[in-house]
């Protein structure tokens, strides 16, 4: 009797707790001229299947790289393909020498498509007659 009660309580808690979406960032490289800097892997957690979270990917010296993901799902009665789609909006923010720049990339993953993407963005910072070109590259995945 106690065992049955305990199993039903565990089952009830596991069914009522919301799922968690994880945005995992790996293989981070920041390239300026010939200098390549490796960043560490990062992970953002979204409570439930939909929502948003921001994570610091790299912070050192005068460079700060952040990434934000906003995940939403579709609910279309007439199309099972569109109804199973996951819409992800990725924002990549780079702050360097007090200047900020950002990029916004939108991805739509359909049905059982692998939810992985490779990001490569070029940022240009101008200060007087000096120009700094920085390329940010990483892999992102939704799990």
What does the alpha-carbon distance between residue 112 and residue 118 come to, in Å, rounded to a whole number? 18
Tens-digit pLDDT profile for residues 34-77: 899 998 899 988 887 788 888 999 998 888 999 998 888 776 66
Half-sphere exposure of 94 (CA within 13 A, CB side): 22
Task: Identify the CA nearest to 88 among candidates 23, 135, 39.
Answer: 23
Token readout for 97 is 């020498």
Tens-digit pLDDT profile for residues 89-108: 899 999 988 899 999 999 88
Domain boundaries, the chain: 19-142
Choose the weakest-confidence range: 18-27, 72-81, 117-126.
72-81
What pLDDT was estimated at residue 101? 94
What pLDDT was estimated at residue 79? 62
Token readout for 50 is 């939909």
């Amino acid at each position: 009797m106690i065992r049955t009660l305990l199993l039903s309580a565990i089952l009830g808690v596991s069914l009522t707790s919301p799922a968690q979406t994880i945005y995992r960032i790996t293989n981070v490289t920041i390239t300026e001229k010939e200098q390549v800097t490796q960043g560490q892997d990062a992970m953002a957690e979204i409570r439930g299947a939909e929502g948003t979270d921001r994570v610091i990917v790299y912070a050192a010296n005068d460079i700060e790289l952040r990434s934000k993901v906003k995940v939403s799902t579709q609910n279309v009665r007439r199309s099972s393909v569109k109804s199973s789609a996951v819409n992800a909006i990725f924002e990549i923010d780079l702050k360097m020498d007090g200047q900020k720049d950002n990029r916004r990339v939108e991805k739509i993953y359909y049905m059982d498509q692998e939810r992985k993407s490779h990001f490569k963005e070029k940022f240009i910072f101008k200060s007087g007659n000096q120009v700094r070109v920085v390329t940010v590259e990483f892999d992102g995945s939704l799990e």
